[in-house]
Structures are given as structure tokens and as C-alpha cells.
Amino acid sequence: MGSPANSPGERYMPAKSRSAEASRSPVVTSVQPASADAGAARGDDGVRTLRCGVIGVGRMGRHHARIYKELESVELAGVVDDSEDRREAIADQHGCAAYERVDELLAAGVDAVSVAVPTSHHLEVAIPFLEAGVACLIEKPMASDGVEAQRLLDVADRTGAVLQVGHSERYNPAVRALQRERVKNPAAGGIVPRFIEVHRVSPMTFRSVDVSVVFDMMIHDLDVVLMLMDGAEPVDVQASGVPVITEHADVCNARLTFDRPQGRCVANITASRLALKTERKIRIIGDDSYVSIDYAKKAGVVIRRTANTLQLEEVREALRDGADLSDLNYGELVTVEDLAIDDAEPLKMQIEAFLEAVRTGQRPEVDARAGFAAVRTAERIVEAMKADW
């Protein structure tokens, strides 16, 4: 998205707020939202058709619009963007309305919207919809800082509106497969993380350079790690980073320590937008298992220790005695299995989960609290990183 012409939020402000009120967060104007429930159509399966909209149809928002158009029992009611060419092109492509302002889409009546504008505008764009009880899927990160994230969370709690944060890596088929493995009974091969190693590196694209690599790229991995920790936040954060091309850190390494009833876990996370090639991998080590996942390739492997206590003690005793075990077959002590991973589109799975939450009223898997925790952890990393500058 391009730079705002005047005030930071003018592009998306309700008409009444585009002057003296431009510096404040937007509020719902006197225009009342049409009831999306009244006379709502139903699909062939009897499911009520949801009217959905997309605010911001740039690099990510255009895909949200495409998926809403593809899904059954969903009507793409309209798109909002400051660029007339962009909004008209997407509207023509999908046969929906094009709006310049948020309040126009709100007045048209929608059940749910995707907020895919730059992070600095998430708060002012989402608040009017949440206040009106409209469900919001907000692209990651949830907000620019913890204060704004808390405001979004508070409004969603007060109004009861569904708020989901777009951490799409959660819906990567490899991560879904990992989730299936980790919830198994530990005695049957489940995974209790003790150490997590993450690498997310790519060449500089010169997108999202108004923030550090922590909020740009590492935020994906923070959400996944917090998921693996069942929502627990780190008790200790250490980080180092360097601004090389931009004014913000372009590379960062963070070491997060978690204390849980299951035991301590350390996560070592590296993110860089200075690499010559793209790599997105996570490795998880448990007491008796090791998992390696390649996000980009949607591939993963699980290595489990199968040797019993007696066998392990014999091996360890031999090593203590200085025995040469170079002829020992490592494969006899472990089993190696490929994770069962499908080829589903993460963003589509994310939007389907969002709409299911809208229909059922259930709390989304990646809810406001999960988004807030990721932002708060990212802030702690940035603070720790800057302490070394």
C-alpha cells in the first residue's frame, strides 16, 4: 500500500473523520450498518450465506478477496482500498462493489471482513467493525504495539465480535501435521518440546521495511512457538539484531526461555531479510523425539527413540567406558517417519476457520489473545535487541 496522502489514517477514515478527527482512531459514524442477517440467503447445504468484505486489496488482500469469492455460502460484498485502480480492478475481477471508505462497506452490511491494510492502520480500520459487531480477520501482526493490540482485544471482548489474527503459518499443512503429532499421548510418541530451533531467512524485498524483521518475519515463528508452549509466554528474552540496509534490524536472533509444568524449553529463533535464498524451517527436540519441518516445502520428518531403558543404559555405559561404538547402527535405536502432510492452501484454511467461528460463535484458534501475546513477545525481543545497540 502506498503512503497516505495526508494524515496516517486518512485513506480508511469514515467520511466524518477525514479532517479534524483524522489524528484520532476512527469511530462508527451516523451511518448505520445494514443488517446482514435480514433476509439472508442460504446455500444449497442450508448454511447461511455470509456477506464478507476486504479492506486493503494489495499483496495479501487480493488473495483474501479471491478466496471469499471461491468459497460456498459466502458473498464477497465489497472491497475497500485507497487506490481507485486497485479496488476497481479487484471489484471487476470478482463482481463485487468497490468502496473508497470503510464506512461505505459498513453501511452496505457485512458479517465479516478481512483487514489487510498496513499494520499501522489496523486499529483505526478494525475498531468501527468490531464496535458494530462485525467479525474481523486482521492480518498479522495484530497491531503495531501492545497498547493497540490491547485496545483491539478489549473492544472485541466488550462487543462479542469475533476477532481472529492472520497468523497463516498455523494453517500450513506441515504445522497442522505437527499439531496432530504433539497432542498424542506422550507414551504413544507425543512431543513435549525441550528445545526449538527456527530459521526464517529470505532476500530483501523492500516490503514492510518500516518495521524490524521481528515484526515483519519473526512474528510468524513467535506465534507457532507460543502455540507449542500452549500459550505460555517466555520468562526470559534475550536478543541481538543489526540494522544493515534499513533503519530497523534486518537480522535478529532471539533466545526465549519458557518454564512450564512439563519442564523448561528454550526456543532459538533467527530471522533475516538479508539472505541470498529463502529458508523457513523449524526443528523441535523433545525427551524422546525430534521433528524437522520445512515450511516452504510442506515437508517434515519425525525421529523417535525406540530403544528401551535397558538398551539406552547399555549404550551409555559403553560410552562411559570409552568403547568404540562406531559400528552400532543408529537406526536400531530410533524410528523415522515422514509427517503426513497434504497440499492445502494455508490462507484458504485460515479463512475457512475464521468463517466457521463466525457461524458458530466459537472462539477462533488464533484469537485476539494469541495475537496479543505474539505482539507483546515481539516487543520484548525488540527491547532486548536495542539494549545491545
Q: At 204, which CATH number? A: 3.30.360.10
Query: Which string of DSSP letters, residue by residue, matches 121-160?
Result: GHHHHHHHHHHTT-EEEEESSS-SSHHHHHHHHHHHHHH-
- Cα distance between the two ends of the chain: 31
* Grid coordinates belonging to 344: 492445502
Q: Are residues 174 and 293 in the same domain?
A: yes
Domain count, the chain: 2
44 and 177 part of one domain: no
Asked if the structure places residue 158 within a domain, the reply is: no
pTM value is 0.86
**One domain, residues 87 and 209:** no
Instruction: Provide the residue range defining the domain that includes 272.
Output: 170-349+373-386
Describe the crossing of helices 122-131 and 146-159 by its angle, rounded to 10 degrees: 10
Reading the chain (389 residues) residue by residue, the pLDDT tens digits are 333 333 334 445 433 333 323 333 333 333 445 555 544 565 566 688 999 999 999 999 999 999 999 999 999 999 999 999 999 999 999 999 999 999 999 999 999 999 999 999 999 999 999 999 999 999 999 999 999 999 999 999 999 999 999 999 999 999 999 888 877 655 545 688 999 999 999 999 998 888 999 999 999 999 999 999 999 999 999 999 999 999 999 999 999 999 999 899 999 999 999 999 999 999 999 988 899 999 988 899 999 888 777 888 889 999 999 999 888 888 888 899 999 999 999 999 999 999 999 999 999 999 999 999 999 999 999 999 988 77
CA 103 – CA 356 distance, rounded (Å)? 25
How far is it, in rounded angstroms, from Cα 78 to Cα 48? Answer: 18
Residue 8, classed as helix, strand or coil, is: coil
CATH of the domain at 14: 3.40.50.720
Domain boundary among 117, 138, 156: 117
Domain C-terminal end among 99, 117, 135: 117
Residue 5 lies in a domain: no
**Residues 229/300, Cβ–Cβ less than 8 Å:** no
The DSSP annotation for 241-304 comes to: EE-SSSSS-SEEEEEEEEEETTEEEEEEEEEES--SS-EEEEEEEESSEEEEEETTTTEEEEEE
**Same domain (yes/no): 230, 377:** yes
